[in-house]
Structures are given as C-alpha cells and as structure tokens.
Amino acid sequence: MSLNQISKVYATALLELAKETNSLESTEEELSTLVDIFFSDESIRHYFLSPLVDPSEKERTAEKSVQGKASEIVANFITLVVRKNRFLFLKDILEDFRTGVDRLKNRSSLRIVSKDSLGKEAVDRITKSISSKFGRDVRVTEHTDLNLIGGFKIYIDDFLIDASIRAKLAGIEEALLQKKIPVGAFE
C-alpha cells in the first residue's frame, strides 16, 4: 500500500464508524484536538515516533492519555493507530477525515493563503463570495506564507484562485514576452 493511501484507508474506516454512530462533527473535533496535542509538543511526538520505545508501551501510553478525554470511537482509533505504528500519519488521516465529512455534508474546504492575516472582514467577504459562487457551505482555514510578496491565494476543493502579486507579475511578463516589439522601437 502506498503511503498516501494509508491515511485514506484509516480516515475512511473512522468516517464509517462516525457515520454509523451519527457523530461526525464530534469525532472530527476530538480527533483534531488530540492531533494538535500530540504534534504540538515535540517530546510527545518524539516519544511516539521513537524506534527505541517499546511498541506495547506506546500503545499503553496512548490508551491512558486519551481515556476519559475522548469518545470511545476516537480513543480506540488513536490506540489502533499507535498499535499499527501509523502515528506519523495522524495529521494526514485527520485531513482525509475532514475531506470525507465535507463531502457528506455537501461542504467545500476553503483555504486562504496570504503573507499576513487578511482580517475577519476580508475573510468573511471572500467566504460569502465563494459560498454563493459554488452554491454550498464552506469550511474556512487561513494560513500565512511569508514567501508571498502580497495578495493572496484561495484553494477551494480542487480549484486555485491566485490573486498574488507574483502571479500578476508573471502574467505581465508573459504578456510582454508575447508582444513582439519591432527592433529600433525604443531608439
């Protein structure tokens, strides 16, 4: 099985369980919280990824750490992921799970990438515009990318709307290269 399929398989299994128990949103929220906790602390992440730690010890630690803090479905899922040595894929599993929930709820994923935060008003305007254009609800996440000169990029499902300064400059450059300027025009 290829690496990108691993997260899809686990996410699909969790999605089916959450759908059966009518707990899509709560499962997503719990999983997101746990993934943030596991990956925000470097010592926790290294513990679960270390080949020096006994796998059964990792499993017991995972089970104790989520017991009482998550539903039975999520707690068992985290324990299974650790048991099967798939901890590294948890972030990808969460993203694939979110995509599945969005598909079931007829919702699109909207990711706004800009050099600096655009502010609530601008994000709300973009969200409203995209929502009406695509005719569905959108889940918005905002990211910053210091490599952008200015402007922003919008990723909606499989579409990219590139309103960055770099893209505009590339368009101008292409237009200038396409236009044939006669020799001696600037003499």
Question: Does any domain span residue 184?
Answer: no
| Residue linked to tokens 């992440």 | 45
Instruction: Yes or no: say if 93 and 10 are a contact pair by the CB < 8 Å rule.
Output: yes
Question: Does any domain span residue 148?
Answer: yes
Query: What residue spans of the chain are helical by DSSP H?
Result: 3-20, 24-40, 42-49, 55-66, 72-83, 90-104, 120-134, 165-178
Say what the pTM is: 0.70
Q: Are residues 15 and 83 in the same domain?
A: yes
- Tally of domains in the chain: 2
Question: Does any domain span residue 113?
Answer: yes
> Among 65-69, 83-87, 163-167, 174-178, where is mean pLDDT lowest?
174-178
Q: Are residues 153 and 80 in the same domain?
A: no
**What whole-number distance in Å separates Cα of residue 42 and Cα of residue 53?**
15
Q: Are residues 90 and 159 in the same domain?
A: no
Percent of the chain having pLDDT more than 70? 94
Domain holding 160, by residue range, is 107-178
Task: Provide the 3-class DSSP secondary structure of residue 20.
Answer: helix
Question: Does any domain span residue 186?
Answer: no
Q: Are residues 11 and 65 in the same domain?
A: yes
The domain that holds 135 is classified in CATH as 3.40.30
Q: What is the pLDDT of residues 20-56, one digit of tens each?
A: 988 888 889 989 988 998 888 888 888 988 888 898 9
CB neighbour burial string for 135-170, b if at least 16 within 10 angstroms, e if fewer:
eeebeeebeeeeebeeebbbbbeeeeeeebeebeee
User: Domain boundary at 41, 72, 103, which?
Assistant: 103
Q: Are residues 76 and 115 in the same domain?
A: no
Question: Does any domain span residue 45?
Answer: yes
Q: What is the pLDDT of residues 151-184, one digit of tens each?
A: 888 888 778 888 888 888 888 888 777 776 655 5
Q: Are residues 68 and 124 in the same domain?
A: no
Q: Are residues 114 and 97 in the same domain?
A: no
1 pLDDT more than 80: no
